[in-house]
């Protein structure tokens, strides 16, 4: 009887000592996970982007073509996409996709998953603090009428040193005369950095 009682007491003492240690180990594990996330957030790549006007010719040009007795109107838009890495590590830009539309109002949605986005390919990897520019050409059917303007959307998909896929999106509005270009700041879902 005595050895059984001693064994039970010993087990209770071990449990009393082990439970706080297990709780401390779980707390330490959560702290390490949070520190790891903080490290990834502070050392990651951050690709920021903006559009500027094409400087070596007209940024917006209109054309018409005859086909089967029909006259087809089209607009060509050339914009300079400036990407810069504001993070602390290298970024691999896997894809730049986008589109331009003639609209009377901006669609308040993230269009990055639309299948009809035009691929502009990849950009070279960007080191921390570096920037890269590329001219993007958008072909848009039709020409704006009174009260219409161009809405341009681009999604930039990239990876950081941790292998995490990230995305930067930007939406811009352009007046048909090519005099004003501005970010669609009223629509945060069109201008995101993940």
How do residues 7-43 score in pLDDT, each as one tens digit?
A: 877 788 778 887 888 887 778 778 766 766 655 566 8
- Taking each continuous run of H as one helix and of E as one strand, the counts in the chain are 1, 9
**Residue ranges with strand state E in the chain:** 47-53, 60-67, 70-85, 92-103, 118-119, 131-141, 149-159, 165-174, 181-183
Please name which of 49, 19, 28 lies closest in space to residue 134, comparing C-alpha atoms: 49
Q: What is the average pLDDT score of the chain?
A: 87
Residue 111 belongs to domain spanning: 45-190
Query: Are 11 and 107 part of one and the same domain?
Result: no
Strands 165-174 and 149-159: antiparallel
- Calculate the dihedral angle through the C-alpha atoms of 185, 57, 116, 91, rounding to the nearest 10 degrees: -70
Q: Return the CATH number at 133.
A: 2.60.40
pLDDT attached to residue 117:
92
Model pTM score = 0.78
Q: Are residues 73 and 21 in the same domain?
A: no
Same domain, 168 and 76: yes
What would the pLDDT profile of 53-103 be if each residue is shown by its tens digit? 888 877 888 888 887 778 888 899 999 999 999 999 999 999 999 999 999
Res. 2 pLDDT band, cuts 50 70 90: low
Same domain, 37 and 86: no
Q: 76 and 38, same structural domain? A: no
**C-beta neighbour count of 154 within 10 angstroms:** 27
126 and 176 co-located in one domain? yes
Are the C-beta atoms of 141 and 150 separated by less than 8 Å?
no
User: Over 80: is that where the pLDDT of 108 sits?
Assistant: no
């Amino acid at each position: 009887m005595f050895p059984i009682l001693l064994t039970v007491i010993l087990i209770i003492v071990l449990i009393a000592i082990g439970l706080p240690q297990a709780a401390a180990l779980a707390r330490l594990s959560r702290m390490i996970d949070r520190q790891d996330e903080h490290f990834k957030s502070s050392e990651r790549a951050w690709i920021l982007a903006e559009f500027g006007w094409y400087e070596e010719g007209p940024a917006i040009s209109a054309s018409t073509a005859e086909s089967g007795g029909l006259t087809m109107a089209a607009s060509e838009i050339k914009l300079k996409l400036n990407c810069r890495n504001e993070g602390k590590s290298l970024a691999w830009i896997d894809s730049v996709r986008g589109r331009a539309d003639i609209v009377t109002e901006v669609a308040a949605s993230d269009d990055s998953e639309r299948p009809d986005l035009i691929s502009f390919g990849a950009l070279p990897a960007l080191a921390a603090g570096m920037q890269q520019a590329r001219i993007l050409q958008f072909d848009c059917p039709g020409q704006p009428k009174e009260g219409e303007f161009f809405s341009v959307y681009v999604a930039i998909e990239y990876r950081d040193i941790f292998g995490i896929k990230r995305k930067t999106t930007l939406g811009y509005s352009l007046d048909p005369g090519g005099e004003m270009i501005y970010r669609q700041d009223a629509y945060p879902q069109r201008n995101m950095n993940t």
